[in-house]
Chains A and B, each alone.
Chain A
Amino acid sequence: MPSLETLTAAVLFSGLTLYVLTGGADFGGGVWDILARGPRRQAQRDLIAHAIAPIWEANHVWLVLVIVLLFVGFPRAFAAISIALHIPLVLLMLGIVMRGAAFVFRTYDLRPGPAQRRWTVLFAGSSVVSPVMLGVLVGAVSSGAIRVDLATGDVPADYFSAWLGLYPFAVGGFALALFAFLAAVYLTLESDQRDLQDDFRARALAAQAALVLLALLSLLLADSRAPMIGYGLATAWWGLPLQAAAALAAAGAVAALWRRRYGWARVAAVAEAVLLLWGWGLAQYPFLVAPDLTISSAAAPRAVLAPLLAVLGLGALVLFPSLAFLYAVFKRRRRLAR
């Protein structure tokens, strides 16, 4: 039986995973929105907007939940991160605000032409900034550059050095590619039209190529710049099997896309994303903000964690059926229509 602290961290990490799989793909949609081209440009945009509109706000709540769990469960980590990574957090925040606002404004702005184009640029631009910043945050947290003075809890940081580097930005690029890949794969399932499906199939394959490259780059850089991650992945007993499984999932996604088995492609893409994320999480274990805060040293008292987990469990009983209902209403459409 894992400790309460570890359990809370696992829940937090699951929340983050779900955010990547759902909210991440919504950001990816924004990327494909600006890259929309060719004869079916408007059709691509409409498909993206249609796919995102009913669900993005719900998907977005995963992020809110992650933040809340972080400050409830691991207040010291929350404080350290928000001081040392103040700037990327602010940029992420701006990106999130502008993405959501621009998307809704575009939908409801009745004026045609330039106004629409301006919203599109803003929507897409912020859909690029936010994933990169999210990746930068993850990269910085795992690189071991944030030092925390354990006696006072202060963070003697200079607000830049922890995140302004090659490795965090490689992870940022990786996050962007991952989100774009997930979005493209999901979008193949959103349309009945063969040519639109093919558009997103090509995009998914391209994003997968970028994703693999950036994953390898991050891994290489991790050796010297985030030694703990590199070390974990290279030496732990699960390191090799996990990387092999991720590679297999990636290959599976490519094969399924190639053969236009989009349902399978989605399964493989999700598996790939989950394996990549949990590989990072496991390599980081037991640290939360390397190298000074571990899961247990950053955690809140157990008297908080136990009721917290109980509430989360009860909440999940309400939440998951509701989410399933939401997706059933909006994502089952084609099967019903036939």
Chain B
Amino acid sequence: MAARLLMGISLGFHIVFAVVGIGMPLLMVIAEGLWLRTRRPVYLELTRRWSKGTAILFAVGAVSGTVLSFELGLLWPYFMRFAGPLIGMPFSLEGFAFFLEAIFLGIYLYGWERVSPRLHWFAGWVIMLSSVLSGGFVVLANAWMNAPAGFTIVQGRVEDVQPFAAMFNAAALSQVQHMVVATFIALGFAVAAVHARMLLRQPHNEFHRRAYAIALAVGGLAALLGPLSGDFSAKDVAQRQPLKLAAMEAHWETQAGATLLLGGWPDEAAERTLGAIPVPYALSLLAHNDPFATVRGLKEWPPGDRPPVAVTHLAFDVMVGCGTALAIVALLGAWQWWRTRGPPLARWYLWAVVLCGPLGFLAVEAGWTVTEVGRQPWIIYGLMRTAQAVTPVPWLPLRLVLFVAMYGFLGVIVIALMRQQVFQSPSARAWQDD
């Protein structure tokens, strides 16, 4: 249990920085592109300021990611012995993506005076592409755990390994596309929220206006895609892991024309869900595109095979709730933008964006909880139980405490430094009333 908690915390920590590492390069490339085109100094300042923040976050992302690659062995040696070669292809490719990312990030951050502006901008593009790729490759590895493929088992031994078939498994497309969209939602809204907060204090600050407009455009567009992309994932899960779907929806009885439950508390002992809002036929419609389709319920599986229903269901509702809220705010923003032909600066809207800032990250964490907890008790779906994979080394609770302390320390420092670097930078005043 300590091992699972430790893995979850390590990943939950890393994913925040991964999202930043994937999303920020896009924002910087846009800002720098605008600087190259318009030559307005505000865009240059913006690019530089963003890249400072990114440097800090990227470094923490890199070290926390390194921890993860050790952690796979330190916590799950038997899983890795089995799966290492099978998920190795995406991980090896990811290694190269990391290289490109780190190389061009070095050039981008420290090379302002060393390379030509066009080359510098190009370096930004390389970072952006390789970080999307690296994120995509890891998610492919994770998708394999949900939909193992690319091998056959003959008398308990793995035979006939096909690394590429393992890489392009059944869950690959749905998970990767959803993760990429989610990343841009989370990052776009978080950055927009920071600058919206500053705009509430200094409404005419040109610097924050530009920053806000770019980030909101990225986050908002992605947020409009979010529900579509999530729906695609949900339909896929319904096909591939009906048990996980049932847990996500806290759906106990097999039912044709199944009812969707919003919220509520799944009582696992009594096998029912209390206090949820029912929406008739919606579940069948969402899962199978047909309001009368049959959706299998949790009771079809013995209790020992079920994932923790309450956690999975609530996490799923949190994700969908956040996604819906963000999509609504994005729609309102699009409408305002179209009406005023400029970024929506009304105070109520700025407040809405500020409030939405954390929701994207919350949804990312919740979504991963759904995927990972919903896969339990399997580490490799249908093949290996998590309990069979864990390391025999004792003292894991001690390590848990140690690492939580370490993450806490890193987190506090990062926040303190970000405040120094980005939020309270004195030169922000210079752009007032441009």
A-to-B contact residues, CB < 8 Å: 53-55, 57-58, 60-61, 63-65, 67-69, 71-73, 75-76, 78-83, 86, 89-90, 92-94, 96-97, 100-101, 103-105, 108-111, 153-155, 159, 300-301, 303-304, 307-308, 311-312, 315, 318-319, 322-323, 325-326, 329-330, 333
Q: Look across to chain A and name the residue whose beta carbon is closest to the beta carbon of B99.
A: A61
- Encoded as 1 (CB less than 8 Å from any A CB) or 0, chain B from 33 to 76 comes to 00000000000000000001001101110111111011111100
Instruction: List residues of chain B with CB within 8 A of the CB of A155.
Output: 392
A61 touches B102 (CB 8 A): yes
Number of interface residues of B (CB under 8 A): 67
Instruction: List residues of chain A with CB within 8 A of the CB of B428.
Output: none
With A54-B110, A57-B106, A300-B85 known as contacts, the answer to whether A68 contacts B413 (CB < 8 A) is no
Chain A binding surface, main DSSP class: helix
Instruction: List residues of chain A with CB within 8 A of the CB of B164.
Output: 307
Instruction: List residues of chain B with CB within 8 A of the CB of A304.
Output: 85-86, 88, 161, 163
A–B complex contacts, Cβ < 8 Å, 8 sampled? A71-B72, A71-B91, A75-B81, A76-B81, A97-B64, A103-B59, A311-B89, A325-B107
A307 to B96, CA, bound (A): 15
B-to-A contact residues, CB < 8 Å: 52, 55-56, 58-60, 62-67, 69-74, 77-78, 80-82, 84-86, 88-89, 91-96, 98-100, 102-107, 109-111, 114-115, 158-164, 391-394, 399, 402, 406, 410, 413, 417, 420-421
Distance in angstroms from A24 CB to nearest chain B CB is 15
With A61-B95, A301-B158, A311-B93 known as contacts, the answer to whether A108 contacts B421 (CB < 8 A) is yes
B80 touches A329 (CB 8 A): no
B98 touches A72 (CB 8 A): no
Chain B binding surface, main DSSP class: helix
Distance in angstroms from B132 CB to nearest chain A CB is 16
A108 touches B69 (CB 8 A): no
Instruction: List residues of chain A with CB within 8 A of the CB of B107.
Output: 54, 325-326, 329
Tell me which of A76, A86, A111 contacts B393 (CB under 8 A): A86
A71 touches B399 (CB 8 A): no
B84 touches A72 (CB 8 A): yes
Instruction: List residues of chain A with CB within 8 A of the CB of B72.
Output: 71
Tell me which of B66, B77, B163, B406 contacts A79 (CB under 8 A): B77
Instruction: List residues of chain A with CB within 8 A of the CB of B92.
Output: 65, 68-69, 72, 308, 311-312, 315
Instruction: List residues of chain B with CB within 8 A of the CB of A301.
Output: 85, 158-159, 161
Instruction: List residues of chain B with CB within 8 A of the CB of A63.
Output: 66
Instruction: List residues of chain A with CB within 8 A of the CB of B96.
Output: 315, 318-319
B70 touches A329 (CB 8 A): no
With A311-B93, A330-B106 known as contacts, the answer to whether A81 contacts B88 (CB < 8 A) is no
A78 touches B60 (CB 8 A): no
A71 touches B59 (CB 8 A): no
Most buried by B among A82, A96, A103, A315: A82
Distance in angstroms from B75 CB to nearest chain A CB is 9
A308 to B70, CA, bound (A): 20
A82 to B399, CA, bound (A): 15
Tell me which of B69, B82, B104, B162 contacts A67 (CB under 8 A): B69
Extra 10 A-B pairs, beta carbons < 8 Å, given A78-B73, A304-B85, A307-B89: A71-B80, A86-B393, A93-B66, A97-B67, A101-B63, A104-B56, A308-B92, A312-B92, A326-B103, A326-B106
Q: Which 9 A-B pairs have the closest CB atoms?
A: A72-B88, A82-B73, A75-B84, A300-B85, A79-B77, A54-B110, A104-B59, A71-B84, A54-B106
